[in-house]
Structure 1
Amino acid sequence: MYAAYAGCMPATLSALLAHRPFLLRRLTAAPENPVVIAWAHSSDLADPSPFLVEGQMLLTTGGQFSADGSAAFASQYVARLQAAGVVALGFGTEVVREGTPGELVEACTRLGMPLVEVPYQTPFIAIARWVAEVQSTEARSRVDWALTTQRSVSLAALAGGGLAAAVRTTASGLGCDIAVFDPDAEVSTADSALSAASRRAFASIRPDVQSLLQNQRRARVDMEIGGMHVSLQTLGGSRRLRGVLALAKAGPFDAAELSVVTTLIALAEVSLERSQDQRMSLRALMVQLFELLRDGRVAAVRKALGDIPTGLPEKRFVVVSLRAEETDPALRDTLERRASDRRNRLFVVEHGDAFVLLADERRWPELRRLLTARQVRAGVSGVVDWDSLDAGLVQAARSLDRAGEHEIVDFATLVSSSFFGLLSATAVADVARSRLHSLLSTAEGRQRLFEATVWLRHNGQWEPAARELGIHRHSLRSRLEGVERALGLSLDRFQDRAELWALLAAIDMASGDVPAPAPGSP
């Protein structure tokens, strides 16, 4: 008679009424939503509310109604039960009185309290035991379900599917949507399982994710967004967070579901930590592969990358050069994580004193926005192909030499603004210093070079140049004859003037060695 209801579900009023041995009879209309019974307890007190807990079903024989059977008392009694969180009332007949009081039926109907009639032959203890056994069965069922789901999640990850498979299995088992945010608070689409509705919800919580990542502490935050319960959980240890796991569900997660989430968190942390270690261990290999790319062995590199988590541009790409010492670890981690997703078609490598990116032409605008937001100094080549990779490296390096703080300089812009901008290359500057050494080695010689610069800026016109320098034009002509003799040039010839201008431009742009005249100088 006391056997538990044969179903793996919480104890509900409808299941209790359906348990034939109890012969219970519903006296009020069935509620719209299922009534879950957490416990059943009996009392004939006029006010048992101090001794009740939320979610309880109260059983009574009606002793409290014998002295005062008024409708007012019944209404007050039911109202007190509702305030205490009672979800249903069972009235036992033939113990104190026959039948259920009409005023109680009327009060329960009016106030929306489910009321059932319990016949004499059904002891209250039997109902209490039934509820306890159903709850116990449900608890065991939830534990079994949690263990089975945890195993499925683990196997999905270990079978080669990695974090993405573990996320999909968890989302299916919990009936929820899951997003994995990276350290930049961006959703990792490869590792997430999202519906269109949840994409919008998760997009709105990005500031919350950023706040959690900035705090660099392990934390969990729960919130309600658009009718969805969203739970955020950081991944990784304090001061080394690897991301944030976000889950969205119609209602809060119960204990069994949270145990599955805990399993996913552990797998995600291991996976992200392993990915980080793998990226660092591949840095030396990237250098070797880069040299193969420079040797033109692109096909061999593509074949090698079949087993390595990194991308590579297609046929046309730009070369981006950053100073290695200026590239902070967080930015480097961001770029290497992007490169590890082959869909981004990005290759990153440390080359000499530069951190070099090979960015697919179609993906470069998006990457440029990232670099701009991070306020980096960078040089960018024109669009090149694999046959002109080395030319792209030179172009990116020259552009980087001309870039100011937080500035991204394109080679095309550099060339269009001034051909002489290219003369700042170290090799050219060294040649210029060597060629001008005899003049640069003395203060008088440096002054003569400055005067030559002024004269050339005035297109070789003696009068305006002398006026600017504050000397007579014959004096200026005499001084520049000394420059001609020192360099073996004839400034009457255009090509010699152009050579001198190129030498001076290289020095100006490389190191600013040519001084302005001292105040009051002749």
Structure 2
Amino acid sequence: MSDTGDATTDKPTLSALLRRADLRLRLASSREGLPPEALEREIRWVHSSDLADPTPFLSDGLALLTTGTQFNDENPTSFDDYVIRLQRRGVVALGFGTEVVREGIPERLRKACETHGIPLFEVPYVTPFIAIARANAEAIAALSYARRSWALSAQRAISLAALRPNGLGATLAELSRQLGAWVGLFDASGGLARQHPEAGLSESTAASLGDEVRSVLRRNARAGSSLRIEQTSFSLQTLGRGGRLRGVIAIGGGDLDQEGRGLVTSVVAMAGLALEQQQNLQRARTQLRAGVLQALRAENPSLAMKLAREVFGPLPSPPLSIAIASSGTAAISPLAEWLELRAEEHAGAMFFGRCDDALVLILGAGADDAVFADMTELFDVRLGVAEHAHWEDFSTGYSQALLARKRGHDPVSTFSEVSRGGIRSVFATADARTFADASLAPLRAFDEREGSELESAVSAWLANDCSYETTARVLHVHRHTVRARIVQAEKVLKKDLSQFATRAELWAAFEAASGSETT
């Protein structure tokens, strides 16, 4: 992460200590033999010890100073074992004080340090160990002050950016500039809405990051997380309340320190507030969309078009595809926000709104109906779709889409597919069977009590166009027997079976009671 604003402040590293002329330190290791960035590792503290094994008293990120009294020249492995222990403990540099106990640095110690990647530097007799510790402490304090000063300056810049006309976009751009990092804003569906700089990510990195963001949004809980994609570190911060996330801010380019995280936290708060402030306006837009749909269902397309044109622009051109999303699900609210963004991108070709607790989407001629598949893939909804509708018969298309959603089994079910089974397919529902069982209950009770076969006789008679002759052949009885059973059934049902309407209702009851679904 770039430390914008404090480029002149030295970090507490061995390289910085070596540059201090007053300390007179000299690097004893070969630069070529050291690991990359070995001299730039942060030194969190400086400690001195002549113990053979000081590691129980050390912490990682520390530079150790010694005069070498602990080394046994008669044991060649003592140097190697000593350096191995330091390397495992996380010591980042070893300083050897010369002319105190020894005239110079032992060659075996030099080789052990080079073997295990720990920079070794010489501390001359004229330089006290405490001067090195003090110099490092001063560097830590100076860096801390510089970072706090940078954080205050960055906060002021962010606050001024938030006052600009495009406050949210300007704030994100300023955050990117201050951190020297890529910053992206993902919307509620996981789509990349804004990024700074514009060409900041490769296509593969952007795809992987988008997958991770969508995974975070699907969990629908406030969270912060970190990940690495193709050698780049990213941190993610959700926007909005748990259960109603409005997006994610992603920052790429390195790890954030405490001041950087504080700046990001303030931007997340600003962004969340800006999005919340849009809620009242969005609620009004939602009500207006609902009013447009009510006018369409009331067969007043001219009023609907006038209402929509003032705020949303022209309505889509026929022929229309009318889709209704399943209601009563937590996905409806984030789906509406996602559709709001899509509607802005496809102005004049797409309209949506809520009507009777359902979410209605209308696509016009030439619109890409892949949006239907995207909706079902990103959100937990099913769609019923009426095709080739016009504004004048919108209420009919609405009813067809509602039926397609109710009767279909696929994520996207069209009325044309659902209606292939004809009106008989509607009988195969639990409600229809309940009515059917109630209608046929008198016949069944009579048959059970008298041991008769009125139900089978009436069913066969209706199935054979009410022909006594044909029914008799099917049942292997005399036609007078069939006639007598039908007469008896009229008495039991208290209905006149000579009437077409009565016959049709009874036939529908038998169809529904059978429970077979026509496809």
User: Is the pair's TM-score, using the shorter chain for normalization, greater than 0.5?
Assistant: yes
Cα shift readout 1:161-205 (whole Å, capped 9, x = no counterpart): 3555544544554424546463xxx41322566722433433553
Aligned to 1:21: 22
Aligned to 1:429: none
Alpha-carbon spacing, 1:463–1:192, altered in 2? closer, same or farther (3 Å)? farther
CA contact (8 A) 1:372 1:408 kept: no
How far apart are the structure 2 equivalents of 1:376 and 1:67? 75
Alpha-carbon spacing, 1:488–1:191, altered in 2? closer, same or farther (3 Å)? farther
CA contact (8 A) 2:13 2:41 kept: yes
CA contact (8 A) 1:279 1:336 kept: no
Aligned to 1:10: 11
Alpha-carbon spacing, 1:206–1:400, altered in 2? closer, same or farther (3 Å)? closer
Deviation, structure 1 residue 55: 1.7
How far apart are the structure 1 equivalents of 2:507 and 2:168? 55
How far apart are the structure 2 equivalents of 1:206 and 1:66? 55
Aligned to 1:381: 386
Deviation, structure 1 residue 64: 0.9
How far apart are the structure 2 equivalents of 1:168 and 1:469? 84
Q: Which of 201, 204, 212 pairs up with 2:208? A: 201
How far apart are the structure 1 equivalents of 2:154 and 2:254? 19
How far apart are the structure 2 equivalents of 1:109 and 1:39? 22
Q: For 1:253, give the aligned amino acid.
A: L
Deviation, structure 1 residue 477: 8.8
Within 5 Å, give how 1:263-342 maps onto structure 2: 263-276=266-279, 278-291=281-294, 294-296=300-302, 300-301=306-307, 303-305=309-311, 313=316, 316-321=319-324, 327-341=327-341, 342=343
Aligned to 2:415: 411
Tell me whether 1:351 sits opposite 2:355 in the alignment.
yes
CA contact (8 A) 2:244 2:334 kept: no
1:396 match: secondary structure: helix
Deviation, structure 1 residue 68: 4.8
Within 5 Å, give how 1:386-405 maps onto structure 2: 386=391, 388-397=393-402, 399=404, 403=407
How far apart are the structure 1 equivalents of 2:382 and 2:48? 76
How far apart are the structure 2 equivalents of 1:210 and 1:170? 23
Cα shift readout 1:121-152 (whole Å, capped 9, x = no counterpart): 43433332222222222222222333344444
How far apart are the structure 2 equivalents of 1:132 and 1:91? 19
Deviation, structure 1 residue 298: 6.6
Deviation, structure 1 residue 42: 3.1
CA contact (8 A) 2:59 2:89 kept: yes
How far apart are the structure 1 equivalents of 2:73 and 2:230? 48
Q: Which of 81, 84, 90 pairs up with 2:89? A: 84
CA contact (8 A) 1:298 1:386 kept: no
CA contact (8 A) 2:154 2:178 kept: yes
Alpha-carbon spacing, 1:349–1:236, altered in 2? closer, same or farther (3 Å)? closer
How far apart are the structure 1 equivalents of 2:330 and 2:165? 28
How far apart are the structure 2 equivalents of 1:337 and 1:290? 18
Cα shift readout 1:207-230 (whole Å, capped 9, x = no counterpart): 8526743xx5x4444455554444
Alpha-carbon spacing, 1:507–1:86, altered in 2? closer, same or farther (3 Å)? same
Q: For 1:201, give the aligned amino acid.
A: S
Alpha-carbon spacing, 1:71–1:329, altered in 2? closer, same or farther (3 Å)? same
Q: For 1:135, give the aligned amino acid.
A: I
TM-score normalised according to structure 2 size: 0.70
CA contact (8 A) 1:201 1:226 kept: no
Alpha-carbon spacing, 1:463–1:410, altered in 2? closer, same or farther (3 Å)? farther
1:330 match: secondary structure: coil
Aligned to 1:188: 191
Within 5 Å, give how 1:153-168 maps onto structure 2: 153-161=158-166, 163=168, 165-168=170-173
Aligned to 1:56: 62
How high is the sequence identity, in percent, across the aligned residues?
30
Task: Count residues with an aligned counterpart.
Answer: 465
How far apart are the structure 2 equivalents of 1:274 and 1:312? 27
2:388 match: secondary structure: coil
CA contact (8 A) 2:322 2:362 kept: yes
What 5-or-longer segments of structure 2 have no aligned partner?
1-5, 429-438, 444-453, 491-495, 515-519
What 5-or-longer segments of structure 1 have no aligned partner?
425-439, 490-499, 518-522
CA contact (8 A) 2:65 2:95 kept: yes
2:397 match: secondary structure: helix
Q: For 1:83, give the aligned amino acid.
A: R
How far apart are the structure 2 equivalents of 1:507 and 1:287? 41
Alpha-carbon spacing, 1:360–1:157, altered in 2? closer, same or farther (3 Å)? farther
CA contact (8 A) 1:179 1:247 kept: yes
2:256 match: secondary structure: coil
Cα shift readout 1:69-115 (whole Å, capped 9, x = no counterpart): 86544334333333332222223334444443444333333433212
Deviation, structure 1 residue 386: 4.3
Deviation, structure 1 residue 285: 1.9
How far apart are the structure 2 equivalents of 1:389 and 1:71? 93
Within 5 Å, give how 1:415-454 maps onto structure 2: 416-418=420-422
Aligned to 1:114: 119
Tell me whether 1:135 sits opposite 2:140 in the alignment.
yes
How far apart are the structure 2 equivalents of 1:199 and 1:72? 51
Aligned to 1:434: none
